[in-house]
Amino acid sequence: MQNARKISEDIWWLGASDRRIELFENVYPVPNGISYNNYLIMDEKTCLMDGVDDSVTGQFLENLEHVLNGRKLDYMVVQHMEPDHCSAIPQLVAKYPELKIVTSAQALKMINQFYRFDPTDRTIIVKEGSSLKLGKHELSFVCAPMVHWPEVLMSFDTATGTLFSADAFGAFGAIDGNLFADEVDWERDWADESRRYYVNIVGKYGVQVNAVLKKAAGLDIKMICPLHAHVWRKDFDKLLSRYSKWASYEPEVRSVAVFYGSIYGNTANAADILASKLAEKGVRNIKVFDSSKTDISEMVSRAFQYSTLVFASATYNAEVFDRMHYLLIDLKNHNLANRTVGLIENGTWAPMAAGLMQRQLETMKNMNVIEPIVRIKSGVSDENLAQLEELAEKLAESLK
Ligand SMILES: Cc1cc2nc3c(=O)[nH]c(=O)nc-3n(C[C@H](O)[C@H](O)[C@H](O)COP(=O)(O)O)c2cc1C
Ligand SMILES: [Fe+2]
Ligand SMILES: [Fe+2]
């Protein structure tokens, strides 16, 4: 049975949620599932904005048929060619023989690469500034390279002020009936997952995201329709300002996030001692993460959120302990910059973790390591306690 939703005069949401999925992109845990949204504009011409993932294609095709209600599908805009929004292209082309695909030249090539058929003779190529008239509605296309793939287009319906924003402004998490962001307690239930989504998916491309935000600022936006999570019909400033912070690698929270890697618990102890000392010095909203238990995508998201980061690691086979090593690589891969950093290392015979972590931090921009580096030999000593006190003092000072 269909589950299509009318979101404005002629525009329908046709998406579906997948709650069975464990890992989005086979890497990011999605305990609350994920939604794949797409939209249908019912004007003189009918126009589908993107497709969905394989996992929900059956539901989507039912929704589409229901809303079309016997009409043919004239256009499908392919804003980017990532398979989580394109799985049904071959089926749609077979089902609607007159369907024209509207996409960028680069995406057209990718259609052939993925599906081994060449839709050139039924494709309308568009680029920045191109438009497509559907009747009352007219789509104007905006290039958004690397938000999330190189060929990304966003589409702005000038008649209604609806921005079809592709992957931008999405979040992890299934849609639980309430399709609009203003119908849920978004700050409480969605803000963290929207950051984890952004940071891990496009966090690396801050420069490109800022370029698109500039273009968006020039549009009279009334509604934002992303390919994942909620439709937005107000609070655009809140949404855009979060994106602008992340894209500029500016923290949202001036406080300390501590990440530790500990085999037997001594490094963890030092991390907790530091956190307590910070709290006693008035620092609020401190977070401590055991890197062996917390998914890297969550830690990367928190590192984008917090101004001040502490990395504490045991030495493990002359390396940084396991997931702390990968956390630092991932932070570098996402271009994290502009943070104040504290370091704690541990080792029993040849401690090396601090030096190795420092080297990883040097590959990132503007990561300011605060002295002293706390060097533990096995268990926390009196001397270490004094170092932790001094580090806490300096970190607290840096937050003032
Ligand atoms: C497999 C393995 C490899 C280790 N490699 C090193 C090493 O290269 N250098 C070192 O000083 N300690 C090494 N250690 C010892 C731990 O780093 C050390 O005991 C540390 O105090 C553990 O801190 P924790 O209590 O936070 O786990 C190794 C431990 C294990 C289990
Ligand atoms: Fe994507
Ligand atoms: Fe996507």
pLDDT tens, residue by residue, 54-93:
999 999 999 999 999 999 999 999 999 999 999 899 999 9
Q: Which ligand is nearest to the CA of 79?
A: 2
Tally of residues, the chain: 400
Predicted local distance difference test score (pLDDT) of residue 117: 87
Residues 161/223, Cβ–Cβ less than 8 Å: yes
From CA 10, how far away is CA 71, in angstroms rounded? 14
Closest ligand 1 atom to the C-alpha of 349? 11
Question: Quick one: which atom of ligand 1 is closest to the CA of 318?
Answer: 8
400 domain residue, yes or no: no
**Cα 124 to middle of ligand 3, angstroms:** 22
Residue-number span of the structural domain to which 334 is assigned = 256-394
Which amino acid is it at 98? E
Pair (51, 156) in one structural domain: yes
Does a structural domain hold residue 399?
no
- CATH number of residue 331's parent domain: 3.40.50.360
153 and 29 together in one domain: yes
Which of 185, 215, 247 is the endpoint of a domain? 247
CATH of the domain at 86: 3.60.15.10
Average pLDDT, the chain: 97
Regarding whether 325 and 224 lie in a shared domain, the answer is no
Tally of structural domains, the chain: 2
> Measured between alpha carbons, how far is residue 96 from residues 36, 46, 69, 292 in Å?
22, 12, 13, 50
Q: Which of 201, 227, 247 marks a domain boundary?
A: 247
Please list, in sequence order, all residues whose beta carbon lies within 8 angstroms of the beta carbon of residue 202, skipping any fewer than 6 positions away: 146, 147, 148, 167, 168, 209
**Residues within a 6 A CB radius of ligand 1:** 262-268, 314-318, 346-351, 378
Question: Looking at the structure, do residues 70 and 210 belong to the same domain, yes or no?
Answer: yes
Question: What pLDDT tens digit does each residue of the chain (400 aa) get?
Answer: 889 999 999 999 999 999 999 999 999 999 999 999 999 999 999 999 999 999 999 999 999 999 999 999 999 999 999 999 998 999 999 999 999 999 999 999 999 999 998 999 999 999 999 999 999 999 999 999 999 999 999 999 999 999 999 999 999 999 999 999 999 999 999 999 999 999 999 999 999 999 999 999 999 999 999 999 999 999 999 999 999 999 999 999 999 999 999 999 999 999 999 999 999 999 999 999 999 999 999 999 999 999 999 999 999 999 999 999 999 999 999 999 999 999 999 999 999 999 999 999 999 999 999 999 999 999 999 999 999 999 999 999 999 9
Q: Is residue 314 part of a domain?
A: yes
Q: List the residue whose alpha carbon is closest to atom 9 of ligand 1.
A: 350
| 236 lies in the same domain as 167 | yes
User: Rounded to whole angstroms, how far apart are CA atoms 350 and 371?
Assistant: 21
Q: CA angle at residue 56 from 55 to 60, to 5 degrees? A: 155
Q: Give whole-number Cα distances, 351 to 89, 183, 262, 310, 343, in Å.
A: 55, 52, 13, 18, 13
| Nearest atom of ligand 1 to the alpha carbon of 269 | 26
Do 348 and 206 share a domain, yes or no? no
Same domain, 95 and 142: yes
DSSP state of 121: G
Atom 19 in ligand 1: residue holding the nearest Cα = 348
Instruction: Confirm whether 158 is domain-assigned.
Output: yes
Same domain, residue pair 137 and 265 = no
Residue 125 lies in a domain: yes
Instruction: Look up the pTM and report it.
Output: 0.95
Distance CA 36, CA 173 (A): 10
Nearest CA to ligand 1 atom 27: 263
Nearest-CA residue for atom 30 of ligand 1:
316
What is the spatial distance between Cα 32 and Cα 24, in angstroms, rounded to a whole number? Answer: 11
Q: Indicate whether 266 and 313 sit together in one domain.
A: yes
Name the domain boundary from 224, 247, 270. Answer: 247
Tell me: do 43 and 69 sit in the same domain: yes
Pinpoint the alpha helices (H) of 54-129.
57-68, 89-95, 105-115
Are residue 186 and residue 263 in the same domain, yes or no?
no
Atom of ligand 1 nearest to the CA of 261: 26
Residue nearest to atom 14 of ligand 1 (CA): 316
At 1 the pLDDT is 80
Q: Are residues 218 and 335 in the same domain?
A: no
Is residue 31, in this structure, part of any structural domain at all? yes
